[in-house]
Amino acid sequence: MTSKPCPICKKPRSEEFTPFCSQRCRDKDLAAWFSDSYAVPGNPVPPEDIAREE
């Protein structure tokens, strides 16, 4: 069974940084989440509903 490549740069995965190949790719992925480059799909929520949850 062949393992999937690193989702960032497509190099072979490293067991230490799975599913990435290196700390650099792991950090790059985390930065993408922090900058809202990734999003989980869902229905839009009105701002007043968000304020009620806080």
Give pLDDT tens digits for 28-37: 999 999 998 9
Angstrom distance (rounded) from CA 16 to CA 6? 12
Mind listing the pLDDT tens digit for each residue in 1-54? 568 999 999 999 999 999 999 999 999 999 999 998 988 888 888 888 877 766
Q: How much is the pLDDT for 2?
A: 63
27: left (phi > 0), else alpha (psi -120 to 50), else beta? alpha
Is pTM, for the whole model, over 0.85?
no
Q: What are the sequence ranges of the domains in the chain?
A: 1-35
SS3 5: strand
